Structure 1
């Protein structure tokens, strides 16, 4: 399941806000991928701006990785910011949906908390 929001703000404005809001909620910004620029530089451009911001909550990461190292394949959380139909879209995969792949139902409260925080980060960035 995807969590999606739309805004009139630019991709860069949303990126900056997401980085600030993530830090304010205890997440670290692990990396920022300027996807559209990378593809353009590789000679295979796309016709819209796209950025992926990777964020991680150390507290939550420790909780899930202490239980199952395979969950690291879904980390860190990625927030995509891109243009579509003259709007900026902010999108991520719901942590609760990703958790289903790992057969760790006891980690559902952690995934729900991360999902709530991710939604807040995204909504507050619009």
Structure 2
């Protein structure tokens, strides 16, 4: 079982970040954090690193349902969506919510994980032009 799903996405890096953020929003996710790893490496390590961003995505309604069922679930939130430059283009990668929530021994998480998974699949379909 893999812990993520990813797609190659056509376009310029910042455009893909904007399109990803918009597609997440269409599925009810807000971006709570936007970590520019490349910028951090440049500032802290004085190295150049290919574009790499980590978006912390959260759907408040689903997060509330999850926290109501499992108070410590917050250690696994928000769901990370990563956008990075690879040799063969721009990649969007997201945590597999079903794999992530499989570590929680609570069957109430199954429906939430499936819902998040379906939403992320639609985000990927949007980014792929489907």
TM-score (norm 1): 0.91
Taking only aligned residues, the RMSD between alpha carbons, in angstroms, comes to 1.4
Q: CA deviation at 1:44?
A: 4.4
State how far apart, in whole Å, the 1-side matches of 2:17 and 2:47 are. 20
Q: State yes or no: 1:113 paired with 2:109.
A: no
* Structure 1 stretches lacking a partner, 5+ long: none
Q: CA deviation at 1:46?
A: 4.7
* Structure 2 stretches lacking a partner, 5+ long: none
State how far apart, in whole Å, the 2-side matches of 1:47 and 1:26 are. 31
TM-score (norm 2): 0.89
- Runs of 4+ with >4 A deviation: none
Q: State yes or no: 1:58 paired with 2:64.
A: no
Q: CA deviation at 1:119?
A: 2.1
State how far apart, in whole Å, the 2-side matches of 1:8 and 1:24 are. 20
Q: Deviations over 1:42-88 (max 9, x none)?
A: 12435311011111101100111001122111101110000112311
Q: How does 1:93-104 map to 2 (within 5 A)?
A: 93-104=95-106
Among 15, 18, 34, the residue aligned to 2:17: 15
Aligned residues of 1:7 and 1:89 also touching (Cα < 8 A): yes
Aligned residues: 126
State how far apart, in whole Å, the 2-side matches of 1:26 and 1:7 are. 21
Q: CA deviation at 1:122?
A: 3.0
State how far apart, in whole Å, the 1-side matches of 2:103 and 2:47 are. 33
Name the residue aligned to 1:90: 92
